[in-house]
């Protein structure tokens, strides 16, 4: 039984699970860069599943100027504000065996991340995580940790592998579980 099913229970002092969520101040932000839509599709499913469970979640996208010549130093035209959230999920693809420059540039622009927990989702085409996926995830972790954020977990999805759908499923379950643990700890 997941937490949402307890929503109408009385937790003492007339506190429902909804009150516990509010008291826990768990605002969740999913911040994504997606060039061809793969990472976006995972984020869309995650957002929907979090909403279905009653979480306060916002999905937002990093945008860059369409100057593909200069992908190493893209101009960020939209940088989502990370400050309202307590728990962030950053999602991005591998490009050139490393974290795409749009996400690394964005993360480097972030202010202090102290008090914020975060998880990372990486998608890549190649079938092995060591062909950029692990490197990309480590990069996201190190930039945000250096700004004071607390790394909670990550997942890498190898897009062209036969078990992709299963991997997406596992990723969503993993992130939902991490969030529900955090909600329980905060409450």
Ligand X SMILES: Cc1cc2nc3c(=O)[nH]c(=O)nc-3n(C[C@H](O)[C@H](O)[C@H](O)COP(=O)(O)O)c2cc1C
Binding-site ranges for ligand X (CB under 6 A): 34-40, 93-97, 123-126, 131-132, 159
In angstroms, what is the minimal distance from the CB of 185 to ligand X? 31
* d(C-alpha 160, C-alpha 37), whole Å: 14
CB nearer to ligand X: give 39 or 171: 39
Structure tokens at 166: 């299963």
CB nearer to ligand X: give 3 or 131: 131
In angstroms, what is the minimal distance from the CB of 110 to ligand X? 20
* d(C-alpha 29, C-alpha 175), whole Å: 12
CB nearer to ligand X: give 126 or 152: 126
In angstroms, what is the minimal distance from the CB of 107 to ligand X? 16
* d(C-alpha 31, C-alpha 62), whole Å: 7
In angstroms, what is the minimal distance from the CB of 96 to ligand X? 5
Structure tokens at 175: 């992130």
CB nearer to ligand X: give 156 or 183: 156
* Burial bucket for residue 130 (CB in 10 Å: 0-12, 13-18, 19+): exposed
């Amino acid at each position: 039984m997941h937490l949402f099913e307890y929503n109408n229970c009385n937790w003492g002092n007339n506190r429902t699970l909804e009150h516990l969520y509010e008291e826990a101040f768990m605002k969740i932000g999913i911040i994504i860069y997606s060039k061809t839509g793969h990472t976006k599709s995972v984020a869309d499913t995650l957002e929907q599943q979090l909403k279905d469970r009653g979480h306060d979640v916002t999905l937002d996208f990093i945008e860059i100027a369409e100057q593909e010549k200069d992908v190493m130093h893209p101009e960020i035209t939209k940088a989502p504000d990370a400050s309202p959230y307590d728990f962030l999920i950053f999602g991005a693809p591998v490009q050139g065996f490393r974290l795409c420059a749009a996400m690394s540039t964005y993360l480097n622009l972030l202010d202090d991340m102290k008090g914020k927990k975060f998880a990372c989702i990486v998608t890549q085409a190649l079938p092995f995580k060591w062909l950029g996926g692990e490197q990309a995830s480590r990069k996201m972790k190190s930039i945000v940790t250096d700004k004071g954020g607390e790394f909670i977990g990550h997942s890498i999805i190898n897009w062209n592998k036969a078990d992709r759908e299963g991997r997406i499923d596992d990723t969503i379950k993993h992130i939902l579980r991490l969030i529900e643990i955090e909600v329980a700890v905060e409450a």
